[in-house]
Structure 1
Amino acid sequence: MSVTLEIRPRRQFREFLESKKRWCCLVVHRRGGKTFSSLQKLLLRALTHKRPGPPTRYAYIAPTQAQAKDIAWGYLKSFTWQIPGVSINESDLKVTFADGMTVRLYSGENYERMRGLYFDGVVIDEPEDIDPMAWPSVIRPCLSDYRGWAIWIGTIKGKKGQWQRYVDAAADGDWFSLLLRASESGIIPEDELEDLRKGISADVFRQEFECDPSVGRTGAIYAKEVGEAEAAGRVREFSPDKGALVHTAWDLGSPENTRVVYFQRVGPWLYIVDHDTGLRLTTAERVAHMMAKGYAFGCHCLPHDAASRRPGGLSFVEELASAGLENVRVIPRTDDPERRINRMWGMFPNIWFNEPRTRDLRVSLENYRRRVDGASAAVMSEIVHDWASHDADAFGYIAEAEMAGIVSENLPRLGAGKRGARVRVSLGRGDL
């Protein structure tokens, strides 16, 4: 028995389906059909691609497992259920074909689950909501064995992330790129677009339906302040001031999710000099990694749970001390994240970021946000706890450490004659 599968793409996506390029980036308005068309292409490539070796393997990756199931699982089953020999596994969200080929749905929030696998191709949906470390540390290496391909699809949330990927792809002959705005695509009828405009804010419409990068991410907490720091020239490469101690602020989690922000206080200025993220290190290895930086360390400021006993019987504070890290301090417990957010907002005009050592931190700060109501698009008070919140919490603990008196706002320079001495800090070209 043979089955003929006929793929009928929307005309707006035909060139995309016909493209043979390894890398693709699609910026498409809401309800434009980007997930549907990307799964069509995934199956077209999967069913026509043959190679020696183990069975081919493909993945669709969404920010969460619930999103992957809600958005893509129904499409995938409807596309494949009539193919002879196909097995559909509801619990694993996996389709297995008669020759052993598999297509599986994955969660970006648990991207470590993909570590060590191989893929012949992946679709990454809404990459703005997935930890940016997922691509370089896990997903991209999974494509190396068989020169697999990747399709990035999503709306945009500002001028970075998916929008910058599209801009770069449009200028790179090795990439296929597609931009579809609702006012130009013809997919949503004009009368429906007009009704949408009446029901949501102008900014939300411009971002979600017109793919306008000038609109910042809805609910963003620090994005405006990071943008202002960049515009003011406070994001640049510099060396730590040798006359001031380097302190650290931490957010604790699994080894990969433990984040460390390195900072200095010099007069009124707060210098963010370094940042650790995505490190799979034991406690001893982490301390050795920190010491190898050669900084003159001051206080290491950890959240209250660092004092809790761990499975081995020691607290994390004790483990760090055993590994040779001195002056570890625990910040008193607080249940008010708004307090540190407000404090950091007030400090931002005096914050400098060392480029490029704080690049991942700044991406997280730009994506740290409050939840947005899906129906009304209203910004809620609840903070979204995802990949970006780990870095943002570590950053915010700087404020908590200062408010607790662990780190002084005007720490004397090492060797300075007295507090309040004139500060002159070299930052490459030009001085402060």
Structure 2
Amino acid sequence: MAKIRLPNEWQPRPYQRAAWDYLERGGKHAELIWCRRAGKDETALHRTAVASFERIGTYWHMLPMAAQARKAIWNAVNPRTGKKRIDEAFPEAIRRKKNDQEMYIEFVNGSTWQVLGSDNYNAMVGAPPVGIVYSEWALSNPASKAYLRPIIAENNGWQIFITTPRGKNHAHTTYQGAKSDPDAFAQILTAVDTGQYDAEKLIKLRAEYVRDFGEAMGNALFDQEFMCSFESPILGAVYAREIRDAAQRVMRVPYDPSKPVHIFWDLGRADKTAIWFAQLGPFEYRVIDYLEGVGKHIGEYIPDLQAKRYVFGDCWLPHDANNELLASQRTVAQQLRDAGFKVRTVPKTSIDTRIEAARLMFPLIYFDEQKCAVGLDALNNYRYAVDEETKQFSTEPLHDWASHAADAFGYMAIALREPKPQKLQQPKNPRTMINPGRIAPGYWM
């Protein structure tokens, strides 16, 4: 039987050595913000191969979406060698079984490794993992970490987060957290740090980005991908300007017991349900809370709502809530009415209409910085996809982990929008107005 030395025919490059040494010493939490083509997945795969024979257990390599996993990892070919990356990291001699459909490998010592999507984290079955790689973490569902972290902690396992930045979203938050943790490893490696490209090549690459995307966006993308800048906006972000302008209105926004709390839903089936909580002030909206869940039926949300001890006003549901069933014989609207909620439905509208209404509403909103943090992260990551060949944006935003919070937010904007006046009453140049909810002047702060 052939002897295999792990890592298999591979050694970390000089700039990868610090991270590799940390993990080899038994490090449990690494945040690797490395530039494009710096070998993030390659390093993680080889480290997982070694770990699988240091400790028998279950190991996962997670992409943002399950649909990406096959192309990005399972079938990915190393352009320098012409070999599949999984064959390089996990040679056949160390495998007992391979399942192509499940993208699953069992090793001869009993450890297992699988490629998965963080968009479906709550549906994963089998033994709990002892090691997880979050690839493209900045684009992944941050709820996956919150869900899996207790499992990793209980198993004394490890987590590696690898990504290039996508604005100051959850990846920036976890990187900053690791920087302040003496037991964690946090590192930013730019294209200058790695030495992969000389100055002339970097100048040429920047020029190509500017040519393809225009000066502002091209420079921002180059800085994001090669300089690992968290300052660059997320490409295609729907509410980039609105969230930037709202920065001073993200603060502590306390619940006012004298005013009802209106709730606005986006309903999921197998995926996420999202709920925003808002109170109406004089010429403003106070968004005081946000709640989301995955794979739960409506009956499971009712105790969560009641536990908040708010005085509820209107309960706004999507237009199809009277038809939609979530693991029940009664409609969503019926279940909530039976629980005592005053149910109303948002009229059917297009995504573009909801986005425009939300943009008009944004300047009037104050967000609670703690209770709305998860929802705001989703709004920040709500984006149009970009075709890598044509450089064109998709006609509708990407449907991923961020879209549910954004849809509920859009329904809120439609529900609170000022009704259009009768045709005879319309001025010559009508403008869409936001219903302030009160006519008295003044501010709550």
Q: Shorter-chain TM-score category?
A: 0.7 to 0.9
Distance in 2 of aligned mates of 1:283 and 1:45: 41
Distance in 2 of aligned mates of 1:121 and 1:7: 21
* Deviation of 1:130 (Å): 1.6
* Deviation of 1:265 (Å): 1.7
1:25 pairs with 2:31: yes
Distance in 2 of aligned mates of 1:284 and 1:65: 28
Contact 1:109 1:131 in 2 (8 A): yes
1:156 pairs with 2:175: no
Deviates more, 1:176-185 or 1:392-401: 176-185
Equivalent residue for 1:415?
none
Equivalent residue for 1:132?
142
* Deviation of 1:106 (Å): 0.9
Distance in 1 of aligned mates of 2:382 and 2:232: 16
- SS of 2:376's equivalent? helix
Equivalent residue for 2:102?
92
- SS of 1:3's equivalent? coil
Deviates more, 1:35-44 or 1:360-369: 35-44
- SS of 2:313's equivalent? strand
Contact 2:276 2:287 in 1 (8 A): yes
After superposition, residues 1-400 of structure 1 pair within 5 angstroms as 1-5=1-5, 6-19=9-22, 20=25, 21-47=27-53, 49-50=54-55, 55-73=56-74, 74-114=84-124, 117-137=127-147, 139-200=148-209, 201-230=218-247, 232=248, 234-254=249-269, 257-278=272-293, 281-310=296-325, 312-322=328-338, 324-334=339-349, 336-375=350-389, 377-400=391-414
TM-score after normalising by structure 2: 0.85
Distance in 1 of aligned mates of 2:28 and 2:392: 39
Distance in 2 of aligned mates of 1:374 and 1:111: 27
Distance in 2 of aligned mates of 1:312 and 1:114: 23
* Deviation of 1:349 (Å): 1.6
- SS of 1:305's equivalent? coil
Deviates more, 1:5-14 or 1:269-278: 5-14
Stretches of structure 1 lacking an aligned partner (at least 5 in a row):
413-419, 426-430
* Deviation of 1:378 (Å): 4.1
* Deviation of 1:183 (Å): 2.5
- SS of 2:223's equivalent? helix
Deviations 1:273-313 (A, max 9, x none): 11111266543342233233232222111111201153744
Distance in 2 of aligned mates of 1:256 and 1:82: 36
- SS of 2:279's equivalent? strand
Equivalent residue for 2:440?
421
Distance in 2 of aligned mates of 1:167 and 1:85: 38
Distance in 2 of aligned mates of 1:267 and 1:127: 40
Deviates more, 1:237-246 or 1:300-309: 237-246
Distance in 1 of aligned mates of 2:403 and 2:282: 28
How many pairs were matched up? 409
- Structure-2 change in CA distance of 1:411 and 1:191 (3 Å): closer
Deviations 1:3-38 (A, max 9, x none): 132432212112221212211110111111111111
1:411 pairs with 2:437: yes
Deviations 1:89-123 (A, max 9, x none): 21111111112111111111111123674212111
Distance in 1 of aligned mates of 2:270 and 2:71: 30
* Deviation of 1:247 (Å): 0.9
Contact 1:84 1:98 in 2 (8 A): yes
- SS of 1:295's equivalent? coil
The share of aligned pairs that are identical, in percent, is 29
Deviates more, 1:355-364 or 1:286-295: 286-295
TM-score after normalising by structure 1: 0.88
* Deviation of 1:387 (Å): 0.7
- Structure-2 change in CA distance of 1:281 and 1:104 (3 Å): closer
Distance in 1 of aligned mates of 2:287 and 2:296: 22
- Structure-2 change in CA distance of 1:309 and 1:212 (3 Å): closer
Distance in 1 of aligned mates of 2:134 and 2:116: 10
* Deviation of 1:255 (Å): 7.3
Distance in 2 of aligned mates of 1:249 and 1:282: 17
Name the aligned partner's letter for residue 57 of structure 1: T
Stretches of structure 2 lacking an aligned partner (at least 5 in a row):
75-83, 210-217, 421-433
Contact 2:285 2:436 in 1 (8 A): no
* Deviation of 1:343 (Å): 1.8
* Deviation of 1:134 (Å): 0.9
Distance in 2 of aligned mates of 1:83 and 1:160: 41
Name the aligned partner's letter for residue 194 of structure 1: I
Deviates more, 1:295-304 or 1:156-165: 156-165
Deviations 1:68-109 (A, max 9, x none): 222222312332233255322211111111121111111111
Contact 1:133 1:278 in 2 (8 A): no
- SS of 1:248's equivalent? strand
- SS of 2:115's equivalent? strand
Contact 1:118 1:145 in 2 (8 A): no
* Deviation of 1:189 (Å): 4.7
Distance in 2 of aligned mates of 1:206 and 1:386: 25
